[in-house]
Amino acid sequence: MEKYNDAVLHDTVAYTDDNIRHLSDMEHIRTRPGMYIGKLGDGTHAEDGIYVLLKEVLDNSIDEFKMNAGKKIEVTIDEELKVTVRDYGRGIPQGKMIEAVSVLNTGGKYDSKAFKKSVGLNGVGVKAVNALSANFEVRSFRENKVRRASFSQGELLDDSTADTKDHSGTYIYFEPDSTLFKGYRFRYDIVEQMLRNYTYLNTGLTIVFNGKEIKSKDGLVDLLNDNMTSTMLYPIIHLKGEDIEVAFTHTDQYGEEYYSFVNGQHTTQGGTHQSAFREHMSRTIRDFYDKNYEFGDIRNGIVAAVAINVEEPMFESQTKIKLGSTHMHQENGPTVYKFIGDFLKKDLDNFLHKHPEITEVMQKKIQESEKERKAMAGVTRVARERAKRVSLHNKKLRDCRIHFNDESGELKEESSIFITEGDSASGSITKSRDVNTQAVFSLRGKPLNSYGLTKKVVYENEEFNLLQAALNIEDGLEGLRYNKVIVATDADVDGMHIRLLLITFFLQFFPELIKKGHVYILQTPLFRVRNKKETIYCYSEEERLSAIDKLKPNPEITRFKGLGEISPDEFKHFIGKDIRLEQVSLRKTDQVNELLRFYMGTNTMDRQRFIIDNLVVEEDLAKELIEE
């Protein structure tokens, strides 16, 4: 026993006073960036950290607008890397400017007199931007003086004050640190959507982005009109009150689609305000018709936006994407639930009584949803029972172990499911995957073309029924078990067809899955080029030619025809940390309905003529190239 204890003591790392260290505010942010901005990322996704940095700077400028100080904000992003934000508010008080951008738990927003309904209240925001930037500069313009300070990774480099004739306000410049945000680039489409959301919630505000003016006249009505991808059944219902604004309509799509905001912050994962709106909107409509309609039938096809202002809002994370507040005020205020309920019970009910032309269309939509649901009742029950009997570890679904973060309960960023076709392809992915966060769903043959069909087919078709059950999205995205739904098919004509059929399925019955950015296409290499010293995987003809040039002379070239041909050892390279994913997006400008109608509809002869007219025979193409 003594020898065992000696061994334990010998192997134990010494723990002394030297092991205790204090981190400065800036050091702590750089050491634990996830605590402050969520994931880092490279700018591919709207949730990536570089957009959180931009949002934290913008939030301060928006708060100035909310305090009636400055109606214009100028945002410039140079070379997709360097950001400048200039507002025309009051400017940071110059005596405390350095502390305001570099010392945690310091800021004017703790004083509710200066900022009543602010987004940022925990004194972190712009400090995180400073700490996580390779270069950061702040200027405060006040009373014909400008104080300027520059930093690198949160360390002060320079501080000066001079006279100025510039308008009052704040100037922030930052370059995210590329050692943390590896290979980052700002995507202008993501930035522009973020800025548009700010203007929807702040009518009268003008944001100039790289010279382009962005503003909104009708608030949430503009938001819905700009984002709706399905046919609107009646004019948007728009209601405004003190600290609340709502807008909604029904469309011809399935499911529910929501845009929710708190103090101008887009809460992409909803929260107490969105839940309250869903319930009270349904209850008010049901009470108006005095019919025992189910809430699901009332909400089917709805597209809605809700925005509220809350004093000192409590979010479930620093990134502020889900509201956790239960009360409108910290003391003696109504609950969020009651506040929204009282507003809708009065204002929505009044609106419905005044607009019979809208309530007639609305009731027709509700009744159609009810009729379809009842017609599916038997099929649905059998399908659910069949799905329950399917083991999570059978050949259809090989599930992963981890779906959610332990602390927040939110979907884990890496949680993914690969949808693939055929035993060989699913076998390769299954053997290569990370069993903790990557699941595999195996299709049997090509999926059904679901365009133009009712949701009954989701339950009647075994593949669709089991896929819906695996994703757990029958009742909406609240139950979604995977953050990324990845279509993994061969890079050939059949594989492209399967992709199109799956995307059609999601667009037809679960459009919000795409709109919320959960659907991806797995990019796999077309070629492997190698010699005795090096192997290069190529995803395009251009990459193949470049690899041949690099590895000359006469490297071995392999053309991958299908996923099943790639060995599990090689597949690890393509679904690991270097995975290449193409996100499937859905915007109003995509004209999805028209495209689906043409390519997936019943107009077979039109498509046949289109193919014949646009067919290029390889011999003819080669001849043209030679002649040129």
**Could you read off the pLDDT of 112-126 as tens digits, one per residue?**
544 455 555 444 689
pLDDT band at residue 566, thresholds of 50, 70 and 90? confident
* C-alpha–C-alpha distance, residues 441 and 418, integer Å: 6
Question: Per-residue pLDDT averaged across 73-101, rounded?
Answer: 95
Q: Return the closest-CA partner of residue 440 out of 475, 467, 413, 461.
A: 467
171 and 50 inside one domain:
yes
500 and 442 inside one domain:
yes
Mark which of 185, 214, 243 sits at the end of a domain: 214
Does residue 596 sit within a domain? no
351-356: Cβ within 8 A, 24+ apart:
351/237, 351/239, 352/284, 352/285, 352/288, 353/288
The rounded mean pLDDT for the chain is 85
The domain tally of the chain equals 5
110 and 227 inside one domain:
no
pLDDT band at residue 490, thresholds of 50, 70 and 90? confident
519 and 548 inside one domain:
no
58 and 142 inside one domain:
yes
Find the helix packing angle between 604-614 and 592-600, rounded to 10°.
90
Mark which of 214, 235, 257 sits at the end of a domain: 214
423 and 502 inside one domain:
yes
129 and 177 inside one domain:
yes
* C-alpha–C-alpha distance, residues 196 and 193, integer Å: 5
**What CATH number corresponds to the domain at position 578?**
3.40.50.670
> Which amino acid, 177?
D
Q: Tell me: pLDDT of 111 over 90.
A: no
- Scanning 187-332, the segments in alpha helix (DSSP H) are 188-201, 220-227, 272-289, 295-299
Q: Which residue range(s) make up the domain with 444?
A: 390-524+566-590
Mark which of 199, 214, 229 sits at the end of a domain: 214
Does residue 20 sit within a domain? no
352 and 481 inside one domain:
no
230 and 202 inside one domain:
no
pLDDT band at residue 93, thresholds of 50, 70 and 90? very high
Does residue 15 sit within a domain? no
Is the Cβ–Cβ distance between 251 and 301 less than 8 Å?
yes
Percent of the chain, pLDDT > 90?
A: 52
Q: Return the closest-CA partner of residue 209 out of 186, 243, 178.
A: 186
pLDDT at 14: 63
Helix (H, G, I), strand (E, B) or coil at 413: coil
Q: HEC states along 427-495?
A: HHHHHHCCCCCEEEEEECCCCCCCCCCCCHHHHHCHHHHHHHHHHCCCCCHHHCCCCEEEECCCCCHHH
Calculate the CA 353 to chain-centre distance: 37
Does residue 595 sit within a domain? no
207 and 126 inside one domain:
yes
pLDDT at 621: 46
The CA–CA distances, whole Å, from 495 to 60, 500, 562, 563 equal 48, 9, 9, 10
Least confident stretch, 57-61, 260-264, 406-410: 406-410
Does residue 432 sit within a domain? yes
**What CATH number corresponds to the domain at position 294?**
3.30.230.10
Reported as a single tens digit per residue, the pLDDT across 286-313 is: 999 999 999 999 999 999 999 998 877 7
Reported as a single tens digit per residue, the pLDDT across 413-471 is: 889 999 998 777 888 899 999 999 999 999 888 899 888 888 888 888 888 999 999 99
141 and 281 inside one domain:
no
Does residue 4 sit within a domain? no
Question: Per-residue pLDDT averaged across 541-546, rounded?
Answer: 93
Q: Return the closest-CA partner of residue 141 out of 99, 172, 114.
A: 172
Least confident stretch, 3-7, 22-26, 200-204: 3-7
Does residue 19 sit within a domain? no
b/e per residue 84-120 (b: at least 16 CB within 10 A): ebbbbbbbbebeebbebbbebebbbbeeeeebebbbb
pLDDT band at residue 516, thresholds of 50, 70 and 90? confident
Does residue 380 sit within a domain? no
Tokens standing for 264? Answer: 């101008």
Is the Cβ–Cβ distance between 316 and 387 less than 8 Å?
no
Name residues whose C-beta falls within 8 Å of residue 161's C-beta, 6 or more positions apart in sequence: 94, 145, 146, 147, 148
180 and 268 inside one domain:
no
